[in-house]
Amino acid sequence: MARRFVLLYACRMRRLVPFLLLLLFLRPAFAADAGDFGAWLRGMRHDAMAQGITVATLDRAFAGVSPIPRIIELDHSQPETTLTFAQYIERVVPPARREAAHQHYLENKPLLDEIGRRYGVQPRYIVALWGIETNFGQRIGTYPVISALATLAYDGRRAAFFRRELINALRIIQDDKIDPETMVGSWAGAMGQSQFMPSSFLAFAVSYSGKAAPDIWNRKDDVFASIANYLSRSGWHGDQPWGEAVTPPATLDSSLIGPGQKKAVAEWAALGVRRADGNALPAAAPAAQLRASLIQPGGSDGPSFLVYDNFSVIMRWNNSSYFAVAVGDLADSVD
């Protein structure tokens, strides 16, 4: 009887011990995390004050701040990109978004046209970036930016980058007098309808009226003007397109394909490159003199594009050829 009891107890303990060990392992870790974050935050405050952030700003910004476990999960488990170029375009620029972009352009045409003239940016690109980034302001994110950035600066894969962005966010609160509770965005800290990181906000966000701090969360005029200002100050050409779909000849030297290989449109035409619809490329100046690169973002089996300087500007916004083509493609459907 005693032997049976010992065996039963041992079997139960065999299943229970790993669970108990797991609890013993996790509990101190949770406690250490809380303590470590407190120590980290004190160091962060000291660093921020050394860079001109006041105690009052820090007290206001860091009131109740704590790590957000969901953000740590998202940052530590970023999936590899598996979408093909065709799948990406289908997902990011579906027919419904094309139609919505056209409608939003018509609804905001006077404002967009005025901003376009002020900054030298065609309104269709403003609408396209607005649409792709936040679905025309409908999906700006719900994470508090200060807590999101603090989480990633404390326990992220790019802690140094997010630490700098956190300092920038503190500057926004201090200099622009923006309430930290209104600063919401993506889990990675991109803010408002234009999804600006704090560094981009400081560099490019503008108040359209010039009478208040930029409000890229609620004011469409500030959103549009800030997007246009970003493009303009990044080298945008208001009299040029982003690019166009083309068909290269099968005999084209593959070493000529890529963003680093630029030629005049007339030179590409001489090599046998034609528009995707079969028509010839422009033969007259100034279009024929524009310099362009031939790219194939989906590989040799996918579509080909001649892309101009404005394409490179879009790439500064998001360093992805998929994204840049999607912006240009959506812009072409706006008007």
Q: What is the pLDDT of residues 50-106, one digit of tens each?
A: 999 999 999 999 999 999 999 999 988 766 667 899 999 999 999 999 999 999 999
Question: How far is residue 39's CA from residue 32's CA, in Å, rounded to a whole number?
Answer: 10
- The helix (H) or strand (E) run that includes residue 274 is strand 274-275
Question: How far is residue 76's CA from residue 187's CA, in Å, rounded to a whole number?
Answer: 12
Question: How far is residue 196's CA from residue 215's CA, in Å, rounded to a whole number?
Answer: 11
Question: How far is residue 198's CA from residue 203's CA, in Å, rounded to a whole number?
Answer: 9
Per-residue model confidence (pLDDT) at position 120: 98
Domain boundaries, the chain: 85-134, 243-307
CB 243 within 8 A of CB 328: yes
Q: What is the pLDDT of residues 307-323, one digit of tens each?
A: 999 999 999 999 999 99
CB 115 within 8 A of CB 228: yes
Q: Specify the pTM.
A: 0.87
CA distances from 117 to 131, 287, 295, 314 (A): 20, 22, 30, 19
Name the pairing type of β-strands 291-295 and 304-307: antiparallel
Q: What is the pLDDT of residues 219-229, one digit of tens each?
A: 999 999 999 99
